[in-house]
Amino acid sequence: MLTAIKLGRQAYTIYADHKTHQARKHTHRPSHYHHQSPISPTGGFNQPQRNNNNKRATMITLNQISGYSHHGGLPGLLARVFLRFLQFVLALTVCGLYGVDLDNARKAGAYADSKWVYAEVTAGLSAITCLVYFLPMIKSLFFFAWDWVLFILWIVVFGIFGKMYINEAPEYVSGIVRMKHAVWVDLVNMLLWFITAMYGTVMWWMNRGGISMRKSEV
């Protein structure tokens, strides 16, 4: 009788242990479960984590832009891009204004005047320089000396054609009117390249000895 009771108790203990093991098996969670974000119904991570990643990527992009802006922050960067854009557009304008006379001379079989060729070369160099400066990895402030060279070239262009056409009476000749307009475009080009050359020189001088601007000014 006692033996039967002992066997019954052992059987009940084994059965209870088995049920407990089954219950734990069905409620088990991986050890890394609590370290992950909650799972969405589609099986992916929740949207808040995606939003955080997007915000982080946006901040990285803004930091990269700020790194290319050198000084003045985003407003300074936009101002310099605007100046370079004006330089590019006005350089192409000069190419068109002076190119008309060179094309007429070519059609007439006449020689190309060296003064007009010089103006075209100066405008072409200016346009190419602006395109190079538009590249984000190029820090144009380090090439302020080249801006001074172009400024001097534009001084010569304005001096040559200003002397020829500023005091010239138009006499309703379209070519003379066009060249009088071209002289003032030359003047604007000269001033724009002076501004960028001076700005680059000042920024280079301020940082030459390791002097850095305050964070609010960068």
188 part of a folded domain = yes
68 part of a folded domain = no
On the question of pLDDT at 92 being above 70, the answer is: yes
What pLDDT shows up at residue 196?
93
Q: Which residues contact 61 (CB under 8 A, 6 or more apart)?
A: none
Domain of residue 117, residue span: 83-208
Element (H, E) at 162: helix 144-165
133 part of a folded domain = yes
150 part of a folded domain = yes
13 part of a folded domain = no
In single-letter form, the type of residue at position 193 comes to W
Average pLDDT over residues 143-149: 92
Q: How many folded domains does the chain comprise? A: 1
| pLDDT level of residue 218 (50, 70, 90 thresholds) | very low
64 part of a folded domain = no
Average pLDDT over residues 161-190: 89
Residue pair 144/200 in contact by the 8 Å Cβ criterion? yes
What pLDDT shows up at residue 75?
80
On the question of pLDDT at 191 being above 90, the answer is: yes
- How far is CA 142 from each of CA 13, 20, 59, 83, 88, rounded to the nearest angstrom? 85, 75, 26, 17, 19
6 part of a folded domain = no
For the entire predicted model, the pTM comes to 0.63
Q: What percent of the chain has pLDDT over 70?
A: 58
134 part of a folded domain = yes
